Structure 1
């Protein structure tokens, strides 16, 4: 069921040998354990977007045997996953590969019958993934509709009957009454054959994807049925998009990039199709594309930045029984995380292990985690990674930890003050490609620099930083702790102590005590409840503390389900290392991803000047005039939605979407407003509703757009969201490309909005 303009991922790769092999399919060995290794047939479907996998399970639905190329995060050749390292060492690496998924699904570890077959699979999948990610929004829409058309064509005759058309409408998430569906059908059925084919399907596609709201904007700047001239495009950019410096050069570059008609390009004009392509592109996105690169000054001291940080990084699920995995570190690091946590305990064969102490979470080798950090630390960002050690090991295994870090990380590991500086933190720029260790330390930084420390061990004074596991509020854990002979002192090996340079863990006793006696390289960790109390009761003191020192916040012990707290309150007082459970999706991780997509997804965000000033009087709980007081009025118009995905996969389920716009920041800026519910239309709902928000401290504000499927009787189902800093908003007509619950993009789901920002003095 092809139609003109329909895009297929296979089209441009149709002569590729790797793709031909995948379309034909092959037998692969699926590996689950040392005793489970079974032959299964895998095949790329004709849509080049899904893989069919053979299953021997009884009563398994056809849909469950498919997975989408969109769901693949990575394809790794060789023994590059825990499963392959454990269960496939007897097979040559050149026959092995693994498929890593974006969500919480387990890796798919596979063995091909030959090196050639393995190469076809890894190369072919990577080509399709690359090709798919380079598709523009219109191509994604065309491909998605084409896939739905194929699915609706039950008898595979490349025609669409009226019944198939109605099924298709449900498939794309829009409910229409029979009379309207019949009207569209008859309008397109020029041949009067009671079936649509070829050009008739093309006509149906055009009716279906018509964007009347775009037509109205376009017609405002053009004569009837004429393309938009270069001058009129400049006018649109200046008046609507608030690009005051836009001139003919800017307009011509947009025409060159997004105009599909060569004739229009030659005339230096933009057609309606080109205009839509521009609005769906990164240039038409709500997020300022210049903030997608590192644009902030990266030469300030390390403590002047917010740092993307993970708590209990080794866990894939909950805090009590979930699996520990090196894959969790890889996922966190590739999401831009710059501070990871290692909970270290004595393991068998004199090898330290990592797991959540006193619980039933599984165990992984310390050395394997350090290898994973080395391999993935700088894939997403070149800026420094902090290894936060929670050390419960014996003296001998501590020495082993130090040995592994030195041997594996080598020059990456910071083992001495940078450029001999012992009076202030180095900058992220100076620490590019470097790894720091946070933990207990025997001597002062000055002693390390002078190599004067000669004690082999000493008892650490406090255990609070070193035994967060003991804070878990679970009866089984509490009994386990009671039965363990536990000292509140720790014997620390000099070898491990020497790996700690700029992040020495110390117990927090009070802001005044810190001012008088704490060295700049000493830092404290605060459980969320204590940190929140300090932020609320002593906000300005906490900010002053964070101007000089690093602070780390971690989740409360009762969060055994790995839930998260709201990080915004801690960012508002300048806390740098606000650690969340990266494995748990939700509002909190949405805010986290929104904050750290800024500055090129580098994992480092420069704090506003008023959070770096030693004399600041800023207090987020009591806003008075100051440099932070730059009042703005944000006017948001929610115009329409496009291709919102079905939440309930039931055949007759159609979503009833509602949009919520939320502001997160200082308390008086926090706000939330909602549109009305649009019933039975997830394909192209229209709201045309406008909201106003007053924002006093825009430097700390985040804006979140969230779409739900409204339900009168039960909890609303989450459809998608997008969060970004207020300072990264682009004005004018903008598309918002929605993210799913795990923070990955929906293939074609968008909101169309208009943004206006005004001074509010």
Structure 2
């Protein structure tokens, strides 16, 4: 048996050269540059490397973990050695998730090109695999791991080891029976197709078979009418169900004979149930489908805090890569903290800390290149400005020359707006959020300079600065008032930063293009005390919320309670994985991952929606959410010890208005992460489905200590497809875990009586 990647690699010259291996310099810093022997392994999937001095020690990584290959000096590290190694020798492998890049230097330009082209071909081949090829690759990978003596055959002892590695503690007698049935050659070993047969028997889905039997009259096939009945009754599909049933048979049924008779076998049924169109998140709502012509204030906007940081805000590395990763995740509001740098060049870093510094020029160059690769809708550049007049002028010049026509310099149609323009109106535009001299109405008539407080975060708590061990002198510098340059001021159009006084003051005096920043504590207090007013304020003006300065570890606050009052720019530390980023990724997974999600209609008008009293709004209806957690498939191991197997449980968490916050979990299953079966139903009442997020979490139960996280998936309630669905799990980093899923049955119904 050969893997799809291995077969692909056999016919390609670049990949054959990669299999022979090469000496490449691995670069970690200007002073750490070490030669390593790199080689593509025979599976065409794994890249192996080691030091010539490291004895038997080596490292490997899978091509599937590589997101992209960048040529030349496209990282801070490679830029730092540009004087030593020319660009045509250098390239960077960028990994999915939060794993560090791998910076490499080849010995010749032609060798660099072989590796750049080769890895790109492997990535493209991996991404273009169909479901069957992906499964074949997955089986091949397990075969390779378990085939200890590398003879291409697997005896029963190796199979027992494989089962442990695959997270299943199977009865030895049952495992031997499957092994013997698969060993058609009676050689005492499984090879090639015999191992595939063993895997198929091992993964037979009793849970799917039961659902199939409920609708199949003869227990062998689903007729077109029976499949239509299943789609109507279980998947809650309406008028299109007959037409859709025929499409499913054409798309997923592997048997030509069954296709000819307009029927679906158990194999086709299972392929449909694990396909993207049968996932819990409705694929039609994944696409860009919302009205993008409403004012900016009517959208939630995917937003990052301290975007330049790869790590914590005391000693972390500042990097252009952090901007690239945030923008690739659909972020539409990035933050730049600017300070005076040497040689008249502004720098970006977390002031008065030990974080590293990068040039403002390089940040804006990165923004120019990556701003609109994932989404065409506007990017807001939130400027935290601590620079002198001279360097502010340099900043304005750099913004102007590097961003060119993408930088918005004046109101659309040269008119003073009565409401903010829409994302559609501002496509492929960068908006500067900062202080501004005067307003749009009189901006042509003001003097060139005024004294103004430059710092953007108006509500910053002085106590938070002490957490960063700032000196009295530094505190004084932070608090002083500085002059604002006319050149920089003139680039601020629709996002003028102003101090927040009160909702009444804003209602009477504020312009639609004025916006305020709130610390998380100030915003949460306003949300709790005056939620309905906050909602109304946010229907007309933008609000930005940022994490407390006390969060020196760059942890995050829960964004949900700020979305509940309509705050658009709820900024999170993208570099920190966890629940908060899961919620952010979940909310913005819809609408084409474009970084803008239209707020519910009752938050865009004067309905006076109060998140504390959702029953008071017009058209209020609560829903019952019933989730039968049926089974799990190929759940990941959390403890890599060979003999350890997980004891999984599933928890369903609801995030939304206060009344909707809820959690329930299943019991745990002993020693089975391969195909655990729960068949437990969890019930919830949801009062404001338009704001609710549903998070499915799988954990490894531990009675002695905290459970270990295994995987999760977060979906907006309004995007859930009812019926029998697979939930394809994501890692802590938000990247897919191959073939790892939950099988559930979801029912959503209106409550007939008040709860």
What does 1:118-137 correspond to in 2, within 5 Å?
118-137=112-131
In 2, the alpha carbon distance for the partners of 1:279 and 1:535 equals: 42
1:34 maps to which of 30, 33, 45 = 30
Structure 1 CA distance for aligned equivalents of residues 108 and 256 of structure 2: 47
Checking the alignment, whether the CA contact within 8 Å between 1:98 and 1:109 is kept in structure 2 is yes
Tell me the CA shift for residue 150 of structure 1.
Answer: 1.6
Residue 437 of structure 2 is aligned to residue 442 of structure 1 = yes
Aligned to 2:733: 742
| Residue 284 in structure 1 maps to residue 278 in structure 2 | yes
Match of 1:255 in 2: 249
Greater shift, 348-357 or 257-266, is seen at: 257-266
**Residues of 1 paired with 2:293 and 2:663: CA distance?**
37
Please give the alpha-carbon distance, in whole angstroms, between the structure 2 residues aligned to 1:44 and 1:461.
57
Shift of 1:56: 5.3
2:501 aligned partner = 509
Q: C-alpha displacement at 1:147, in angstroms?
A: 1.2
Structure 1: distance between partners of 2:54 and 2:89: 30
The answer to whether residue 571 in structure 2 is matched with residue 575 in structure 1 is no
The two structures, once aligned, show a CA RMSD in angstroms of 2.0
- Return the match for 1:425 from 420, 428, 453: 420
Task: Please say if 1:93 is aligned against 2:84.
Answer: no
Superposition TM-score, scaled by structure 2 size: 0.96
Q: Secondary structure at the match of 1:10?
A: helix
For residue 199 of structure 1, report the CA deviation from its aligned partner. 4.4
Separation in 2, partners of 1:15, 1:382: 39
Moved more, 524-533 or 618-627: 618-627
The runs of 5 or more residues in structure 2 that have no matched partner are none
Per-residue Cα deviation, 1:604-655 (whole angstroms, up to 9, x for no partner) = 0111111011x22211112233236221111101111111111111111111
What residue number does 1:593 align with?
585
Q: 1:495 aligns with which of 462, 487, 504?
A: 487
Per-residue displacement from partner, 1:705-742 (whole Å, max 9, x unpaired)?
Answer: 00011111111111000001000000111111100001
Q: CA deviation at 1:437?
A: 0.3
- SS across alignment from 2:327: helix
User: Is it true that 1:608 corresponds to 2:600 in the alignment?
Assistant: yes
- C-alpha separation in 1, matches of 2:578 and 2:50: 33
Look up the match of 1:16.
12
Extract unaligned runs of 5+ from structure 1. none
The correspondence of residues 178-197 of structure 1 with structure 2, limited to 5 A, is 178-197=172-191
Task: Note the C-alpha offset of 1:54.
Answer: 1.6
Equivalence map 1:474-553=2 (5 Å): 474-475=466-467, 477-479=469-471, 481-482=473-474, 484-485=476-477, 487-553=479-545
Distance 2:90 2:289 in 1: 40
**CA displacement 1:93-127 (0-9 Å, x = unmatched):** 33321101123332111122333332332222222
**Counterparts of residues 624-643 of structure 1 (less than 5 Å):** 624-627=615-618, 629-643=620-634
Give the equivalent residue in structure 1 for 2:612.
621
Contact kept, 8 Å, 2:212 with 2:219, in 1: the verdict is no
What TM-score, normalized to structure 1? Answer: 0.95
Contact 1:234/1:251 (8 A) holds in 2: yes
Alpha carbons 1:473, 1:560 under 8 Å: kept: no
Residues 329-344 of structure 1 aligned to structure 2 (within 5 Å) = 329-344=323-338
Q: Offset at 1:78?
A: 1.8
Q: 2-side partners of 1:526 and 1:628: how far apart?
A: 31
* Counterpart Cα distance in 2 of 1:66 and 1:659: 32
In structure 1, the residue corresponding to 2:487 is in which secondary structure?
helix
Distance change (3 Å), C-alpha of 1:172 and 1:381: same
**In the alignment, is residue 730 of structure 1 matched against residue 730 of structure 2?**
no
Distance (whole Å) between structure 2 residues aligned to residue 199 and residue 491 of structure 1:
75
- Report the counterpart of residue 640 of structure 2 in structure 1: 649
Q: Does 2:389 align with 1:398?
A: no
Distance 2:50 2:463 in 1: 46
Deviates more, 1:624-633 or 1:601-610: 624-633
2:661 to 647, 666, 670: 670
Deviation string, structure 1 residues 448-506 (Cα, Å, up to 9, x no partner): 4xx333x2211115756269596635455332655654553120000010111111111
